[in-house]
Chains A and B, each alone.
Chain A
Amino acid sequence: MKTLRYRIRVIALALVCALLAAVLWTVKSVWFSEAVAPEEPSGSVSSPLPDPWAETAPSGSADPLASPEETPAQAGTPSPEPLFDTNGL
């Protein structure tokens, strides 16, 4: 009977500690989900960052992430004439 009483005490203590730990875990999960989640603007759906996949250039193989200087000349588009024609000099 002594062993039974000791084991009852152990089980009761473990249960109570587990319950309190579950409460603290839930509080921590709720607290950190509120702290980490970014503040959403009220009503507006647009994101502040520019959408790299937005349709700003003609469709094709153009790389939207590439800088404007690196964009290859489109087929059929005449290349700009040089300012000075050095061939006649």
Chain B
Amino acid sequence: MKKNNFPRFRIYAVLLLFFAAVFLLPACRTGDAGMYLVAAAVPGVMLLLLAFPSVFFSPDRPSLSAALPLCGFGIMAAACASSGDALSQCLRCAASLLFLAAGAVLARTFRPSVPAAGLLAVCGLAVLCCPLWFPGASFSLAESGTALLLPAVAALLTTRNRLPALAAALGGMILLLLQQDAGSAAVWGLSLALLFWAASDSLLWSGISLVSAGALFWIFFRVLPPAAGSGVSSLLPRIASMPLFLPASVPESTAVASPDSLFFLLGEHYGLILLLCAVLLLVLILIRGASVAQHARKTFHAVLVLGVMLHLGLRTLLFLCAAAGTFPVSPESFPFLTSFLPDLFTHFFLLGLLSGVSARNEADLDEDVRLIMLAR
């Protein structure tokens, strides 16, 4: 048993030493008490979550091992602005862990039924309506709303209520298009079409979902004029100015201006290699999600985890394409590497759904072993 765990503990040790060094060195240089606190808190919480997970709840260790370094990168980027920003980002990540537990509990206990799915769908649509009730608000709750719609659509698809599932999903898409959030609407529309393709037995429903999502998109962008000042410039020059590894001179500390700025701050202060590592960590989470979905015993759990993968993967793809200027939308937030609290809560909630299904798979395997032992 010890032999099997040793490589994993070596990886954890390297991770903890890396984050301890990254915060301790600037703390020793500047003598900032806040940075000393961050240097103790970040590796400490990572150690608690990775080494002793069953004490608190049963998260999926591989995906958590990939998500925690992403949070660490976010704190590193915030530390480039000031130690106060780093501490704030630490507190945000710590608060988000509650949503990780909530997602895990929901995935383990949720029984797919029409009333429960209906309740979740109503909550998701209500969250998506919030920015419409406050027209002057600059925030977007697209990720939170679609994350609540996801278990509802998965449950309705599993119980063969395809029309209500399509109605709920298209309702969410209409609300996103009314807020002129083209990126989120495209991500949700594509996720909807792929979920229908994966979960339904007939190609007809897959075609209907794809055509209806595409038609809605076309109608809204023909009928509604684009928002004033919605032109977005490419961020390629900013990416091109980033060093490959570490800059020759320390850049000026800039404030954390927007949710997507952590990603670019990280690149400017630590190099493009670290940004590439962030993308690869997300790819690891997607691969782990695929593995968990394939081993799920129930269709609902498999479709749920597939939805989580689509949400995180397509969001990251949209972010990268928006940053490169391929899509004329502004990059919103990179998963786990954002300072916008609702989005960070959503990312951990989705990770919690994945953890819950993974825990359910392990429980099913243990049950199988117990039955085999009893049969003997």
Contact = CB atoms under 8 A, between A and B. Distances in A.
Contact of B324 (A1, A9, A20, A26): A26
A75 interface: no
Interface residues of B, number: 35
B310 interface: yes
* Secondary structure type dominating chain B contacts: helix
Contact of B309 (A4, A15, A30): A15
Contacts of A15: 286, 309-310, 313-314, 317
Contact of A5 (B240, B279, B302, B310): B302
A19 interface: yes
Q: Is the interface of A mostly helix, strand, loop or mixed?
A: helix
B122 interface: no
Interface in A1-48: 1, 3-5, 7-9, 11-12, 15-16, 18-20, 22-23, 25-26, 29-30, 33-34
B103 interface: no
A81 B163 CA distance: 98
Contact of A4 (B199, B236, B239): B199
A12 B286 contact: yes
B325 to A, nearest CB: 8
Interface stretch (B77-85, B288-296, B342-350): B288-296
A29 B323 CA distance: 11
B282 to A, nearest CB: 7
Which of A8, A33, A34 has the most CB atoms of chain B within a 10 A radius of its CB? A8
A7 B321 contact: no
Contacts of A20: 283
A12 B290 contact: yes
Contact of A19 (B197, B283, B299, B310): B283
Nearest to A10: B198
A26 B239 contact: yes
B287 A4 contact: no
Contacts of B325: 29
Interface string B311-324: 00110110011011
Interface of B: 194, 197-199, 201, 236-237, 239-240, 276, 279, 282-283, 286-287, 289-290, 293-294, 299, 302-303, 306, 309-310, 313-314, 316-317, 320-321, 323-326
Interface of A: 1, 3-5, 7-9, 11-12, 15-16, 18-20, 22-23, 25-26, 29-30, 33-34
